[in-house]
Structure formats: C-alpha cells, structure tokens
Structure 1
C-alpha cells in the first residue's frame, strides 16, 4: 500500500508544479498596462533632437492623457531587413541602388547594425537571414539584375516575409523597402501588416523611386505604402534622380538609428487598439512647433501584444 506520507508529498508536489507552471505562463504575457512606443524627434532641418526627458513629452491614447513612465535613447544593436524590388521597371535604378548600398552599408550604419535581405519581384526571389556579414549581403544584392518583362510586384507579401525574418521581433526593429511602384500582386492587406508591425514595435521605411512614366494608378498605390510607413512610425524618402540615392541612404540610416523609447502607463488594458498622439512641450507646457515627430499611430490591443510574446 502507498503510505499516507507519500500521498501527501505527491499532492504537495503537484500543487507546487501547478503554481510554478502558472507563473511561467504568466511571465510570458506582456504587462498590457505598460506599453513601449518608439518616437523619433527631428528639428526643422531634419536633425535628431537629443537630450529630451519625460517632462518634454505629452501623450494621449484615444484622446485621453496617459502618464509617461520613462523616456530613453536607443539601445545598441539595430536590426534592419533590406527589401529590394527587382521588377522590370527598376532596371536602371537597381544598378545605382546597388552602388549606393555598397557605400552606405559600410559608411553610414553603426557597426553593431545587423542586416538581413529579401529580394522580390512578383514573388520573393532571395531571402538571407540575420547572421551574415555585410559583404555577404552586398554580394547577394549585386548578383541580381532587374527581371525583364515582368511588372507584378508583391510589396506587402515581402513585408510579411520580413516580419518572419525578425521573429522573435525586438522593439526598434526596422524594415527598409526600395521600390518604384505600386503593390499589385500581394495577398496580405496593408491593415494586417500595420497591426502586425505595431504590435511588435517594427517600423517600416520606404525609399520611393519616382518614375514619371508610371501610371496614375501606380502613384495611388505608392501612396498606400507611404501611409503604411507613417502608420508604423517610419519615414519615406523620395528619389527622382540617381544623384540622390547615396544622400537618401545616408538620411535613411540616420532615421532608422535615432529615436526614443517611451514607456506609457495605461489606466487599463486596451480591449481594442487605440489612437496614439504625442507632443513635445516647452517649459511652459506649450506644444513646440519647431519639431517633427514620427511615431506609430496606434497603440495595440492587449490581445495583439500577447499574440507576439
């Protein structure tokens, strides 16, 4: 027969195991009352504004003031997914972009920046994960030429692939897309990409090559990409001359690398996503008009956060 003492110990162990398991599961859930938002602050000349403190920021979620618990500069070790369009219309631009990236990856990005790569046309053609050197990334970029007689491009689907490369994502991760046209072949929607990126703190940046021969439909589609970039706290830089490529890449590297982490306190977890507003104020608590801010336009719902531990 099993002794009563043994049964007591077994029961005690089962209770302890259940408690430890519950604590482990709970620890994987994010604190939905505290969320971290990325805010980039630029002056009228486009330069990053350093040295801001909690008192310099004023935030609202769905129109209601929220407390800011901390405001800190960036941590080292950025991760950037480069997403390059090699569709037919990119033919002359691609070679110039390849030359510009050869310089930019070495000169403009901090040494601790990590890169991965997606090359796409009508579908993803090449995918290189993090962990490769910059020379390996450049070698993969330089081996591609534009795809002749093919106009379809799947930008949003390539963003989904970029999200997969970033898994598990870190707040501050970035995706940089270089393209000249609209998305006409993707299965995933812009709203899905926006919610996915915002729930993980990923920003989308766009190098938009302006082609004056593209149709008005292309222009409309490109606006969709710009709106998506703004919604995630990213930036868009337009290029309409080959001479602008290298300066644009330099500016983009700075845009990606310079920002603030703001931790905000919500009165209760959000059941659905809420709008996010942020201002910089002066010593008199008046809104400053001499700065430009980039930040995610939505605060994700609690369920969205815990879908991506």
Structure 2
C-alpha cells in the first residue's frame, strides 16, 4: 500500500504509482464562509511532518483562539505559476535554472496545473496552465534574457492570470537580485495576494557581480512569509535543483485548515500553531475579513 510518506519521498521513477493514488482523491473545496489556511509542519531538522490530526493544531485570529471548522490532511491539487528571473545577472546560470525548474515540473501530480513564465524588463508566459508536464518542460527552453528586473510586476501579472482560477493557487518566484523597474510595489502585491488567497513561494539566489556578492530582494522573503509560502536563499547554484524539488514536496504535504472569519471588513492577523513539542507550523499570517 502506498502511504502519504511514500508519495512525498518518491523519486521521479516512482511518481506514476503516486499519481494513481492522487487521481483517486476528491478535490476539496472551501466554502466562502471559511478562511482556508494551508499549513506546512516541520521538525527540528526541517523535515516535513505527515500524519497529524485536527487536534494537533490551533488557530488564533487577532490573538483569540478560533474553532477549526475544516481539516484535511490529504493532498490538495494546486494551480501554480512559476516565474523565473532571466535578467542579465542570470546569464551564466540560466541553464542551471532551467534544469531546476524542470525538477519542479516533473513532480507535479495529475490534478495539479502549472504555467511557466519569465521576467526581466519584459514579462512573458511561456505556456498556458496545464497538467501536461512534457509541454511545460519544453516551454522552459524558450526563456529569453533582458534587463532590468521587474520582480513585483511579475507577481502581479501572475495574480492576474490566477484571478479566475478555482481552488488552491500558488506563485513560485525565483530571482537573484533586487527589483529595479517595477511600476508597482510590495504593498500592492501583499494586498492582492491576501484578498485573492494566493500563496507565494520565494527562491532567492545570491550571485557575484563585478567581484561583489549580491543578495536577492528582501521583499521576496516578506511575500513568502506573509502568504504562508516558504523562502529559500541559496549561495550555490548546486542547490537550485534540490530547492525546487523541496517546494514541490511541501506543496504536496500541507494540511488544510479552515475557520469562520470575522465580518468587520478589516485585515486580521492569523497565528497557526501545532501543539506537539518540537514541531513548527507555517501558514498565512493574515486575511481580509468580509463586511456584514
């Protein structure tokens, strides 16, 4: 029998069996009367923790404990926009980035849908949302270079593309530098991600330009932390493949919790906790309450 842990730790050669299991699972839908919170749980060694139950979690809405009205520990299908920085600083590393993105696509499950895009001074999508892994991998090869870097705009373009998508929505954003040319800012990104309930993952690569080491835009971490996604900052391109693989593993091992929102029309802070000692829970930090 294939277990949840088997599925999470499977290598590409064994994905077919895991895919069959996933295809038999129903899609879970969250009603408008609940706030969905997708939660990643790790232990002290950063390993993903499966097998938890509803009683292992607590949710606090503005420091007041909220009853958990929805709980599901099965794999939830995801629609993900993968946006890759192809600005001039990535010239020497673009092929490695393409290979890493392929590792992520390979690990998408049959009910998942992905879309590949890139950004520099331009923002372009190389595919439609699809579960055709071969097509998505082929599209990665069409990335083009450019300058400068429109990080925030690329997130907003992705939000536009996800706006009419039903179900769980994720943006996976990669960059090796700071935003230098966006027409929008971090505040607008966070507002829309909160209101449209989109999780953002960030992968940042430190790079060397003219003998100096540069860091990815600090806003990338902020976007990930506020929306419940993970943030990974890399010093070595050798870590690109394993990190893109880790993101896929996390997306297929998260818990779905839900609670009834307040109805005051305000932005509310959320704190998700796991009660078992030694474990850490990560989820979105806020939601936009409806107004009664």
Q: 1:196 aligns with which of 192, 196, 218?
A: 192
| Residue 276 in structure 1 maps to residue 275 in structure 2 | no
Contact 2:269 2:285 in 1 (8 A): yes
**CA shift for structure 1 position 171:** 4.6
Match of 2:86 in 1: 86
Contact 2:173 2:201 in 1 (8 A): yes
Q: 1:182 aligns with which of 178, 184, 194?
A: 178
**CA shift for structure 1 position 63:** 1.5
In structure 2, how many angstroms separate the alpha carbons of the residues matched to 1:187 and 1:258?
Answer: 35
**TM-score between the two structures when normalised by the length of structure 2:** 0.81
Q: Compared with structure 1, are the counterparts of its residues 94 and 120 closer, same or farther at alpha carbon in structure 2 (3 Å cutoff)?
A: same
Match of 1:122 in 2: 121
* Aligned residue runs from structure 1 range 1-309, under 5 A: 30-31=32-33, 34-106=34-106, 108-131=107-130, 133-147=132-146, 150=147, 152-213=148-209, 219=215, 222-266=217-261, 268-282=262-276, 288=277, 290-302=278-290
**CA shift for structure 1 position 74:** 4.2
**CA shift for structure 1 position 43:** 1.4
Q: Compared with structure 1, are the counterparts of its residues 103 and 250 closer, same or farther at alpha carbon in structure 2 (3 Å cutoff)?
A: closer
Q: Compared with structure 1, are the counterparts of its residues 141 and 193 closer, same or farther at alpha carbon in structure 2 (3 Å cutoff)?
A: same
Q: How many aligned positions are there?
A: 262
Contact 2:126 2:140 in 1 (8 A): no
Task: Kindly provide the CA deviation profile for residues 121-146 of structure 1, in whole angstroms up to 9, marking residues without a partner as x.
Answer: 11213342213622222222213343
Moved more, 89-98 or 196-205: 196-205
Larger radius of gyration, structure 1 or 2?
1
Contact 1:170 1:200 in 2 (8 A): no
Give unpaired runs (5+ residues) of structure 2: 1-30
